[in-house]
Structure 1
Amino acid sequence: MNSPNSMPKSVRRAPWRKVVFALVGIAVMVLVFAFLFPQFGDYQTALTKVAAMGPWWIAALGAASLANIIIYPFTGIAAIPKLSYRASFVSRQSGFLLSNVVPGGGAVAVATQYAILAKYGVNTARAAAAVSADAVFTYLFTFGTPAIALLLLNINGKSAAAYNVLAIVGLIVVIVSLIGVIIILRSEDGARRIGAFASKPIGAIFTKLKKPTPDITGSLVTFHTQASEMVATRWPQLAAANFGAQLAPMGVLIVALAGLGAFPGDLTFLEVFATFSIALLLTAVPLTPGGLGTVDAALVALLIGFGLDSSTAIAADLIWRLAWFLPQLLVGLGALGLYWWDRRRQQRGHRLVDESLT
């Protein structure tokens, strides 16, 4: 396990790889926003619809955005019960910023959260368990919700045949993953068996790529050691907090659609849920920061597929990005500033360790 102040090896990429990764991300965003979206509809018409939103809807968007920001840190408190909201806020919002701005920022965000939690009095093992448990629930949510949404659509007589294969694949992934996670968490022997089983196909892939094979078994045993007790005792709180944090951005999207007059008239709740959850799958493929471009293209295409006109779909996506993504990035920047301020206070003799953990 890395120390709180060290960076995982995956973060230390060759400079040229970072440049290539960034260029690919920029190219994808330009392709989507400059070439693909104009095929769907006119930007001017979309912006006109945005400008026509009344002040009450602007206020509602602000409230939904604020709720999203407030809810997000509770995932840290769910994992570490005595952690203060301030410490969790700084850790989680800083992690959101780095994972969505820095190329390959997931590993950087994890290392940063370790360092921040350590400064607030959380030991390395506990911090690692919290971050690992959060990652598991996020993964299960990302792959599980599309299947749930499309199943509910079919039950309610809504045609979603074009996405049924995706739903089935997602459901299989979630079931297999859930069984694997349960086996890993129950015993170290189970973690070793899953690791040995997974090492063969993963090793073959890395061999073909001419890269060193990662220690899958060792990583799973470490995960068992770090997270088994926490997940066993805190899983209801972890599930509830992550469910709220993952769905809060959808709340912003619903308000945006309602402000544009598209919800609940043109779209049902289940259709919005399916749109959001399927588009969210693309965040698992980090081609661009925060899924910019890729998630947006999927979101707009799905909204149009469910019957929304193209200009309103583009307007909803633009509002969603401006009311959800941008504010949380700015809050993340503020969280890093707050952490810097707290460290300065610590250097001047003030106690930074979270008193609730002592």
Structure 2
Amino acid sequence: MSNTVVGGAAIALGLTYGMNSSWGFSRSRTSVSLLVSGLWNNFAKLGLPVVALVLLAFAGQPSAGRLLAGVAGVAGLVAVLGALALLLRSRDGAARLGTFSGRVASAVLRPFGRPAVQSWDRATVKFRDRTVLLLRARWHWITLATLVSHVSLFVVLLLALRFVGVSSDQVGWIEALAVFAFARLLTAIPFTPGGLGVIELALITGLSAAGGARAQVAAGVLTFRALTYVLPIPLGLATYVFWRRNRSWRREPNTAPRTELVPETA
């Protein structure tokens, strides 16, 4: 959904809540999973340019644009980590954040004749507690899964480039990683659905500047995007149809099995 229409990420978010609810998961459990996975995904997007910059520095090939991407990654990573630390540092801090957020939300809703929101402080504390439990127990697996996701995308790009004839003498894997990291950093801001057009432009421009023949680079990038952007669309549609038709996995709301990471009853 997020790959096909403007604002698709918001629609996909609602669909995720709907699917998880149909399997018995509460909204709070879904919120925790979405927040943590989203944060770790952005950690990778922000941190990858830093890794690429370090590798380029050792290879003796840094440039002004790559330095800028690395600095932007460091700044964004520090900002996100700081916000996460403020949320998770203490229950009182989470409660204050929830109260403030509730006041802002109520002020936004007031002109539309909607009632003020209630109990956001308690909800934020509960959200914080569950997030802390999850990260303490599973942070390493979450990190590993995130790294595998991003590295596998880069491997697909590198193989696509080699398949169409862009050799390592033209564009080395470190240079390809730097361009890929910068392109992924751009997707942190959803300019277009799935970064359509933005990623292609960034990859083709960057890889061509690194030494690849523009026609071959374009072919490799389009092959990469066909595999990682176009192919998931029909697969996603098929899984959506399966979810709508399959009833054997359905549960009543908030009846999913409890675990040691979800001690509450709601």
TM-score (norm 2): 0.80
Q: 1:66 — aligned with what?
A: none
Q: 1:352 — aligned with what?
A: 250
Task: Kindly indicate whether the alpha-carbon contact (under 8 Å) linking 2:171 and 2:212 is maintained by their aligned counterparts in 1.
Answer: yes
Q: Does 1:242 align with 2:146?
A: yes
User: Residues 258-273 of structure 1: matches in 2 within 5 Å?
Assistant: 258-273=162-177
Task: Report the Cα distance in structure 1 between the residues aligned to 2:124 and 2:171, rounded to whole angstroms.
Answer: 43
Task: Report the Cα distance in structure 1 between the residues aligned to 2:173 and 2:5, rounded to whole angstroms.
Answer: 34
Q: Does 1:167 align with 2:70?
A: yes
Task: Report the Cα distance in structure 2 between the residues aligned to 1:164 and 1:296, rounded to whole angstroms.
Answer: 21
Query: Against the structure 1 CA distance between its residues 108 and 150, is the aligned structure 2 distance closer, same or farther, given a 3 Å change threshold?
Result: same
- Picking from 143, 146, 153, the partner of 2:49 is 146
Query: Against the structure 1 CA distance between its residues 135 and 255, is the aligned structure 2 distance closer, same or farther, given a 3 Å change threshold?
Result: same
User: Residues 277-316 of structure 1: matches in 2 within 5 Å?
Assistant: 277-316=181-220
Instruction: Report which of the two has the higher share of helix.
Output: 1
Q: How far apart are 1:316 and its partner, in Å?
A: 1.2
The RMSD of aligned alpha carbons is: 3.2
Q: 1:76 — aligned with what?
A: none
Task: Kindly indicate whether the alpha-carbon contact (under 8 Å) linking 1:252 and 1:320 is maintained by their aligned counterparts in 2.
Answer: yes
Task: Kindly indicate whether the alpha-carbon contact (under 8 Å) linking 2:25 and 2:256 is maintained by their aligned counterparts in 1.
Answer: no
Query: Against the structure 1 CA distance between its residues 327 and 246, is the aligned structure 2 distance closer, same or farther, given a 3 Å change threshold?
Result: same
Q: How far apart are 1:228 and its partner, in Å?
A: 2.2
Q: Does 1:317 align with 2:221?
A: yes
Q: 2:34 — aligned with what?
A: 131
Task: Please list the CA deviations of residues 116-140 of structure 1 after superposition, one character each: whole Å capped at 9, or x if unmatched.
Answer: 1122232322222111110110111
Task: Report the Cα distance in structure 1 between the residues aligned to 2:162 and 2:140, rounded to whole angstroms.
Answer: 32
- Picking from 215, 231, 234, the partner of 1:327 is 231
Task: Kindly indicate whether the alpha-carbon contact (under 8 Å) linking 2:154 and 2:180 is maintained by their aligned counterparts in 1.
Answer: yes
Q: 1:189 — aligned with what?
A: 92
User: Residues 175-214 of structure 1: matches in 2 within 5 Å?
Assistant: 175-191=78-94
**Residue identity opposite 1:267 in structure 2:** V
Task: Report the Cα distance in structure 2 between the residues aligned to 1:221 and 1:140, rounded to whole angstroms.
Answer: 23
Task: Kindly indicate whether the alpha-carbon contact (under 8 Å) linking 1:143 and 1:281 is maintained by their aligned counterparts in 2.
Answer: yes
SS at match of 2:166: coil
Task: Kindly indicate whether the alpha-carbon contact (under 8 Å) linking 1:254 and 1:263 is maintained by their aligned counterparts in 2.
Answer: no
Q: 2:5 — aligned with what?
A: 102
Task: Report the Cα distance in structure 1 between the residues aligned to 2:184 and 2:10, rounded to whole angstroms.
Answer: 20
Q: How far apart are 1:163 and its partner, in Å?
A: 2.2
Query: Against the structure 1 CA distance between its residues 227 and 288, is the aligned structure 2 distance closer, same or farther, given a 3 Å change threshold?
Result: same
Q: How far apart are 1:225 and its partner, in Å?
A: 4.1
Task: Report the Cα distance in structure 1 between the residues aligned to 2:68 and 2:234, rounded to whole angstroms.
Answer: 38
**Residue identity opposite 2:162 in structure 1:** A
Task: Kindly indicate whether the alpha-carbon contact (under 8 Å) linking 1:180 and 1:194 is maintained by their aligned counterparts in 2.
Answer: no
Task: Report the Cα distance in structure 2 between the residues aligned to 1:161 and 1:193, rounded to whole angstroms.
Answer: 42
Task: Report the Cα distance in structure 2 between the residues aligned to 1:266 and 1:143, rounded to whole angstroms.
Answer: 26
**What stretches of structure 1 of length at least 5 have no aligned partner?**
1-97, 208-213
Farther-moved stretch of structure 1 (284-293 vs 220-229): 220-229
Q: 2:241 — aligned with what?
A: 337
Task: Report the Cα distance in structure 1 between the residues aligned to 2:202 and 2:124, rounded to whole angstroms.
Answer: 33
Task: Kindly indicate whether the alpha-carbon contact (under 8 Å) linking 2:3 and 2:229 is maintained by their aligned counterparts in 1.
Answer: no
Task: Report the Cα distance in structure 2 between the residues aligned to 1:156 and 1:357, rounded to whole angstroms.
Answer: 51
Q: Does 1:232 align with 2:136?
A: yes
Q: How far apart are 1:333 and its partner, in Å?
A: 0.8
Task: Kindly indicate whether the alpha-carbon contact (under 8 Å) linking 1:283 and 1:295 is maintained by their aligned counterparts in 2.
Answer: yes
Q: How far apart are 1:292 and its partner, in Å?
A: 0.8
Task: Report the Cα distance in structure 2 between the residues aligned to 1:247 and 1:223, rounded to whole angstroms.
Answer: 30
Task: Report the Cα distance in structure 1 between the residues aligned to 2:224 and 2:87, rounded to whole angstroms.
Answer: 38
SS at match of 1:101: coil
Task: Kindly indicate whether the alpha-carbon contact (under 8 Å) linking 1:266 and 1:307 is maintained by their aligned counterparts in 2.
Answer: yes
- Number of residue pairs matched by the alignment: 244
SS at match of 2:6: coil
Task: Report the Cα distance in structure 2 between the residues aligned to 1:165 and 1:275, rounded to whole angstroms.
Answer: 12
- Picking from 134, 152, 160, the partner of 1:256 is 160
